[in-house]
Every structure is written in C-alpha cells, then in structure tokens.
Structure 1
Amino acid sequence: MNPPTIQEIQMQPVVRQAAMAMAVTPAAWSTGLCDCCDDIGTCIITCFCPCITFGRVAEIIDRGTTTCEVSAVLYAIICCLTGCHWILSCFYRKKIRNIFFLEDSPCPDCLLHFCCDTCALCQEYRELKNRGLDANLGWKGKSDRETVIMAPPAVERDMVRENMQ
C-alpha cells in the first residue's frame, strides 16, 4: 500500500467537513410561513411594498455587496415588467437556506414564492431577525454580522467522530 500523497493529506479536512455536513439534518425555520402577524410592521410593509422587505433581506444575504435600495428597485422593475419577481426572491430563499442549513419546507422555494411571495419574504425577514441580524439596520448596521451569518450549523454533541483513512 502506497503512503498518502500530499494532495490526499491536504484533502482530508475537506472530506471530513463534507461527511459531517451530510450527517447533519437541516434545521427547521424559526417561525412558520403563516406567522406573519408575529412582526406586524414587516407584515404591513411587505403587503403594500414587498420590494422593501426583499431589499432588506437581499442586502443582508449579499453581505452588503448590493444595497437595500438597489435590490428593491431591481425587484420592483422585474415585478412591473414581467411579473416574475418571485423568481428573484426564490433565489434568495435558497441562499438563506444554504447559509443557515434550513429545511426546504413547507414546499420547494420557487413554488412557495410563486404562490405566496409576501408570506415567504416575511418568514425570511423574521429568520434573519431571530438570528440576530436586524435587516432594518442594513449590513453595516452591526459590526459582528460576519460572525453571525457565517456561523456553521449546530451539531449534536453526542456525534462520534470517525477516523477517515
């Protein structure tokens, strides 16, 4: 048997991380899709002008690379010209799920945004808020955002670490 190459040794941590990620089941959303009245202010804003809520969510998810205003205008333009704004918000829901390792429920992202875009936007906004990210303040509103948004998903303490050889 040949000794492992340098590339194989360097890849071992990556392989371990991938195996751990597959072993962890996705977490549930912190609030339900229809819990819009838990944050009545956001609910009202989203009902009358969903582009604002979308812009706030997008700015946080994009880590400030696009501003709330730019995202909101893009959402509004797509909505006015094509009516397919739900496709844009669908992509951001997927980004949120990937960042926080959330389950794809109650149905696939695009179907959810197609059928109930405002409820989905409110749920995404509440998720960020419940995780310590105040979308009203924007990305630069809090200095510790990078550590909050990039935190890995919680792992069960009684998981056993296996040697991967």
Structure 2
Amino acid sequence: MYPNKEDSHRRHPPPASGIPVKPTNQFYTSGGFAPAGLRLQYPPAPVVTWSAGLCNCCDDKHNCLVTCCCPCITFGQIAEIVDRGSSSCGTSGALYALICFLTGCQSIFSCFYRAKMRGQYSLKEGPCADCIVHCFCEPCALCQEYRELKRRGFNMSIGWHANMERQGGELDIVAPRIHGDMSR
C-alpha cells in the first residue's frame, strides 16, 4: 500500500499519451531520470576518408589551373556550399582576396572552412592538421575540397541554391500564380 522506501529514489517515465507535457529539468535515461547537467551522448558518425588525396590536384585539370591562378574563385565556390548558401560565392571569394592582399594570411581563413566541411561530412583530418595543410599547400587543399564536394554530387559552378533546386532539396519557393490577364 505504501511505496517502498528503497524504490522512492527511482521514478518511472510518465506513460506516453501523445499530449505535450511541460519540460522538467530532468530527462529519462535507460537507468531512470538523470539530472539536467548530464547529457545523452550519441555515437559519433563514422569518420570517412577523403574521396581523393591531397596531392591529386591534376585530377581536374580545369579546377587545378583556376585554383593556381586565382584561388579566390575556388574558395568562394567551396565556401558557398559549406555555408549552405548563407554567403555567396562572390562575397566569400572577395573576402578571401582582400585578406590575401592585406595580410597574406588567407590560409588561416580557409582552414576554418576545411574544418567546417570535415565536420559536416565526417571526413578524416589528414594528412595533418587543417591549418598546416592550408598554410603549406593551400592550392592542393582547395582542390581537394573542391573535388570532394563535386564527388558528393554538387555542381560547383551553379552554387548552393541551384544545387538544392536541382536536387529537390531544402528550397521549396514557388512563384505566385497569376490568374486572368493583367489589364485594367
């Protein structure tokens, strides 16, 4: 009739009713309720290797030439895809060129995008740290990132928004329909 004192520290989750309930500062784990400071850990996504090596720059001769002559173009294309369209190719490329012109430290800027891309696609950090790769072999690193995105199905020349429209992805913008003629 009375609750057992040994079981009083255990709580059981409320039955699922489909009705939203007010969140508490505790959440249910397999062993009962856990304090809010303890977070559930999901297993990390498996780390995969890059689809092409760092020194395979000449796999795509056109991109290799563009990257060697004007790396800001390749960087801008990569940044637009990695940022998921929140920054344009032109803006990112111009910022890269400006940093290169003013400080010469554009490799520090571009290594952040390499790290962001690795995080999005669970790519292995290699052959060494991102900043070292970009500081000592900037053109090869940009070519590798470009090839990786291209092999993942992105058409690098059309940008993020056109790629999403082509894939039927996140962009579902529909133009309004006009009925009848538009005469007065």
- Distance (Å, rounded) in 2 between the aligned partners of 1:51 and 1:131: 22
The 8 Å contact of residues 29 and 102 in structure 1, kept in 2 or not, is answered as: yes
Q: Which has the higher helix share?
A: 1
- Distance (Å, rounded) in 2 between the aligned partners of 1:4 and 1:126: 51
Q: Which runs of 5+ in 2 are unaligned?
A: 1-8, 14-23, 171-184
Partner of 1:8: 27
Alpha-carbon displacement from aligned partner over 1:91-141 (angstroms, at most 9, x marks no partner): 000011000001110000000000000000000000000101122110111
Q: Which has the larger radius of gyration?
A: 2
- Distance (Å, rounded) in 1 between the aligned partners of 2:76 and 2:68: 14
Q: Which has the higher strand share?
A: 2
Q: 1:101–1:74: structure 2 CA closer, same or farther, 3 Å change rule?
A: same
Q: 1:39–1:20: structure 2 CA closer, same or farther, 3 Å change rule?
A: same
Q: Which structure 2 residues correspond to residues 40-59 of structure 1 after superposition, within 5 A? A: 40-59=61-80
- Distance (Å, rounded) in 2 between the aligned partners of 1:25 and 1:71: 30
- Distance (Å, rounded) in 1 between the aligned partners of 2:132 and 2:12: 47
Residue 97 of structure 2 corresponds to residue 89 of structure 1: no
Partner of 2:89: 68
Alpha-carbon displacement from aligned partner over 1:2-26 (angstroms, at most 9, x marks no partner): 21575313899x72xx3321xx541
- Distance (Å, rounded) in 2 between the aligned partners of 1:49 and 1:72: 10
The 8 Å contact of residues 90 and 113 in structure 1, kept in 2 or not, is answered as: yes
- Distance (Å, rounded) in 2 between the aligned partners of 1:122 and 1:4: 54
Q: Which amino acid aligns with 1:19?
A: Y
The secondary structure found in structure 1 opposite 2:43 is helix
Post-superposition offset of 1:146: 5.2
Percent pairwise identity: 47
Residue 139 of structure 2 corresponds to residue 124 of structure 1: no
Alpha-carbon displacement from aligned partner over 1:60-96 (angstroms, at most 9, x marks no partner): 0111111000000000000010000001100000011
Q: Which runs of 5+ in 1 are unaligned?
A: 148-165
* TM-score, normalised by the number of residues in structure 1: 0.79
* TM-score, normalised by the number of residues in structure 2: 0.71
Aligned residues: 142
The 8 Å contact of residues 133 and 145 in structure 1, kept in 2 or not, is answered as: no
Q: Which amino acid aligns with 2:48?
A: A
Tell me how large the CA RMSD over aligned residues is: 2.2
